[in-house]
Amino acid sequence: MKHYIINIVYITLFVLSLCCGATSCGHPEKAEVCEEYPPIYPNYTEVTIPYNIAPLNFLMRNEPSRVEVSVKGKDRSLLLRSNYKVQFSEKRWRQLLEAEKGGELRVYVKARVDGKWIQYAPFSWTVAEDSIDPYLSYRLIEPGYEVWNAIQLRERNLESFAERVIADNNLTGKSCMNCHTYSRNDPSLSFFHLRGEHGGTILNRNGTLRKLNTQAIGMPSSAVYGEIHPSGRYGVFSANVIVPEFHTLDNKRLEVYDSTSDVYLLDFDTNEIQPVPFPGKEGVEYLRSFPVFSPDGRTIYYCEAPKVALPDSIIHLKYDLLGISFDPATQAFGTEADTLYSSVTGGKSVCHPKVSPDGKYLLYTLADYGTFPIWHRETELRMLNLRTGETDSLEEVNAPCSDTYHSWSSDSRWFVFASKRDDGIYGKPYFAYIDHDGKAHKPFVLPQRDPAHYDYTLKSYNIPELSTGPLPFDAKDIERIWRDSEAEEVNWK
């Protein structure tokens, strides 16, 4: 009897609450029309996405009590009712994008705000026919100054939300570790640097890990920036003595420059290293950094600046973009370097050149001065067409805060970069599409299962790099090589 009464009470309460909901909160059909886009975060309005990307979950900044989202394509559609966080089913999302490949999706958002339904202006998601490389590696670190604590390298599957740790400084004596770099998006050819005691450059060649001490006697430092030759035999690296300084003006944070730097070629087969004999002007000392290979491996692109008095003349420290020929068979270098961007005529400083795998474009970062663009708010990306010599200012892509640390997908249709556009401090990976006419499209941020993820995380995503498959190692392998292996020494050639 007692249970019977309790059940009746519960049923009555349930029915009453339904009635209350129906009467006081109205129907989505009677929504008030708003001509603005919904206040969604991340801003996924009017973006171009690959058909193999994970669901673009988002949240409504005005925190409505209910949201109704309808995503309509030509053949398929998807309806979702949720609270202020909109999280799509992975399976249904995948089916939708697969069906609408090459088409356009219209997204209709209705939200119940303060008891009233609002119908926002619909926006589009263009589903490109080109897929994106399915794996992304990045370094997670607090965007600090000199002190670091927890650093991780992670690999994320872009087709889902799966993520795994590929290196963690908890396992390597809390040492600093630099970002992970692939050669031509190949998961079996990559490297990163582990600093500190037992550190070294960790080279992954066909799943075999090696640890190298890349600082030969007399070099200013061990390897810093660089890339592996497409053949896998060579690495071109800069060795930099890096000095951090701290600004006192409100809109500036950190200035990092090299007191000395130069570029070296390392043969991984013989462990022999040699300075790259760049042609220079007599009596002028240069700083050289950010060397990369062209996709055919026959050119080395790099940045070069004449030395100035530092830090006093830091604003006059401007890097040119140059290219020099290289013969992998003989390890011979050209005697003349081509200037692709001159800081004298252009007035700015170049960093991080990256050539698209098809050899058509060279993407680089442009800052007012210096060599550490992540703390330069004015930093923007530029795309040089190596065939026509034209430079695209990528207006669709750049935002007011730093956009840098970019890398291409293997089909040269997508590139990923770290942008601080949301708050100026915390970098996040954004993906931009380059269509077959060479036009760049509005980028979108790496989607997360929980759309509030970027609100809560205090980590910055550094050097996001795309790859065609998962890496053949994980954090345990890195722990093992850090702990158990002596670093191989390199010698001068």
Partner 1 sequence: MKKHITIALDWGISPVLGISVWLFFAVFYRHHWHYQEQMQLFLFTPEYFMEQIVKPGGLSVYLGGFFTQFFYDSFSGAFGLSLLLVFMQRLVADTANHISRKPDWRLLSCIPPLLYACFLCNEDVLISGTVALVSATATVALYNRIGNPKVRRVFFFLMIPVLYFLIGMGAFVFVLLPPLTEWVRKTRSAAAVWLCMLLPGLLIFACMTYLMKFFMVQYPVERYWLAGDYYRFVNAASLYFLSAFLTAVIIPLLFAVLPEKKRSIAWWRYGLQLLLCVAVVVWGTMNMADWKKEELMAYDYYARTQKWNSILAMADKEAPSGPFTVSMLNLALAKTGYLPEYMFTYYQNGAEGLIPDFRRDNLQPLMAGEIYYHLGLVNTAQRYTFEAMEAIPDAGKSVRCIKRLVETNLINGRHEVAAKYLSLLKHTLFYRKWAKETKEYLHNEERINAHPEWGTLRAYRPADDFLFSETEKDQMLGLLFQHNPSNRTAYEYLLGFALLKKDLQAFQTYYRLGEGAVAYDAPPRSYQEALALIWSQANYEQALKPQGLSDQTVQRLETYRNTFTSHANPELLLKQSGGNTYWYYYHFGNK
Give the C-alpha separation, 404 to 427, whole Å.
9
Write down the least CB distance from residue 366 to partner 1, Å. Answer: 20
Token look-up 């589009």 returns 124
In the shown chain, the binding pattern of residues 311 to 350 toward partner 1, with x for contact by CB under 8 A and - for none, equals x--x------------------------------------
By CB under 8 A, residue 461 contacts partner 1: no
**Residue selected from 450, 468, 472, 493 as contacting partner 1 according to rule CB under 8 A:** 450
Q: Which stretch binds partner 1 (CB under 8 A): 42-50, 145-153, 201-209, 432-440?
A: 145-153
Please identify, using beta-carbon distances, which residue of 327 and 423 lies nearer to partner 1: 423
Pull the structure tokens for residue 223.
């390897």
By CB under 8 A, residue 368 contacts partner 1: no
Q: Which stretch binds partner 1 (CB under 8 A): 113-121, 197-205, 402-410, 421-429?
A: 421-429
Give the C-alpha separation, 117 to 119, whole Å.
7
Please identify, using beta-carbon distances, which residue of 329 and 458 lies nearer to partner 1: 458
Residue 220 identity (one-letter amino acid): P
By CB under 8 A, residue 63 contacts partner 1: no
CA dihedral 215, 220, 226, 229 (to 10 degrees): -50
Pull the structure tokens for residue 281.
């002007």
Q: What are the DSSP calls for 111-139, one per residue?
A: EEETTEEEEPPPEEEEEESS---SEEEEE
Write down the least CB distance from residue 297 to partner 1, Å. Answer: 35
Listed residue (376, 333, 226) closest to 290, CA to CA: 226
Please identify, using beta-carbon distances, which residue of 45 and 152 lies nearer to partner 1: 152
Write down the least CB distance from residue 159 to partner 1, Å. Answer: 22
**Residue selected from 197, 250, 269, 437 as contacting partner 1 according to rule CB under 8 A:** 250
- SS3 label, residue 272: strand
Please identify, using beta-carbon distances, which residue of 40 and 236 lies nearer to partner 1: 40
By CB under 8 A, residue 204 contacts partner 1: no
By CB under 8 A, residue 484 contacts partner 1: no
Q: At 203, which helix (H) or strand (E)?
A: strand 200-205
Write down the least CB distance from residue 268 to partner 1, Å. Answer: 27
Q: 122-157 burial, b for 16+ CB within 10 Å, e for fewer?
A: bbebbbbebbbbbbbbbbbbbbeeeeeeebbbbbbe
**Residue selected from 360, 425, 472, 493 as contacting partner 1 according to rule CB under 8 A:** 425
By CB under 8 A, residue 248 contacts partner 1: yes
Please identify, using beta-carbon distances, which residue of 12 and 65 lies nearer to partner 1: 65
Give the C-alpha separation, 80 to 67, whole Å.
8
By CB under 8 A, residue 135 contacts partner 1: no
**Residue selected from 15, 18, 150, 241 as contacting partner 1 according to rule CB under 8 A:** 150
Give the C-alpha separation, 53 to 159, whole Å.
5
**Residue selected from 285, 296, 327, 455 as contacting partner 1 according to rule CB under 8 A:** 455
Write down the least CB distance from residue 485 to partner 1, Å. Answer: 17
Give the C-alpha separation, 414 to 433, whole Å.
5
By CB under 8 A, residue 253 contacts partner 1: yes
Give the C-alpha separation, 350 to 368, whole Å.
9
Binding footprint of partner 1, residue count (CB under 8 A) = 39
C-alpha separations of 182 from 188, 258, 278 in Å: 8, 24, 25
Give the C-alpha separation, 440 to 397, whole Å.
7
Write down the least CB distance from residue 252 to partner 1, Å. Answer: 6
In the shown chain, the binding pattern of residues 151 to 170 toward partner 1, with x for contact by CB under 8 A and - for none, equals -x------------x--x-x
Exposed, middle or buried: residue 273 (CB in 10 Å: 0-12, 13-18, 19+)?
buried
DSSP E strands in 251-360: the ranges are 254-267, 272-275, 286-293, 299-306, 320-327, 332-341, 349-355
Q: Are 297 and 329 in contact (CB under 8 A)?
A: no
Give the C-alpha separation, 81 to 227, whole Å.
47
Please identify, using beta-carbon distances, which residue of 122 and 311 lies nearer to partner 1: 311
Token look-up 């896998």 returns 232
Q: Which stretch binds partner 1 (CB under 8 A): 5-13, 66-74, 115-123, 468-476?
A: 468-476
By CB under 8 A, residue 456 contacts partner 1: yes
Token look-up 């006697």 returns 217
Please identify, using beta-carbon distances, which residue of 25 and 425 lies nearer to partner 1: 425
By CB under 8 A, residue 145 contacts partner 1: yes
Please identify, using beta-carbon distances, which residue of 60 and 324 lies nearer to partner 1: 60
Q: Are 296 and 358 in contact (CB under 8 A)?
A: no
Residues 6+ apart with CB under 8 A from 293: 227, 228, 229, 230, 236, 299, 300, 301, 326, 355
Q: Which stretch binds partner 1 (CB under 8 A): 52-60, 239-247, 329-337, 344-352?
A: 239-247
Write down the least CB distance from residue 167 to partner 1, Å. Answer: 9
By CB under 8 A, residue 309 contacts partner 1: no
Q: Which residues ranging from 255 to 294 are in contact with partner 1 (CB under 8 A)?
A: 255
Please identify, using beta-carbon distances, which residue of 439 and 480 lies nearer to partner 1: 480
By CB under 8 A, residue 249 contacts partner 1: yes
Residues that bind partner 1 (CB under 8 A): 142, 144-150, 152, 165, 168, 170-171, 245-253, 255, 311, 314, 422-426, 450, 452, 455-456, 458, 474-476, 479
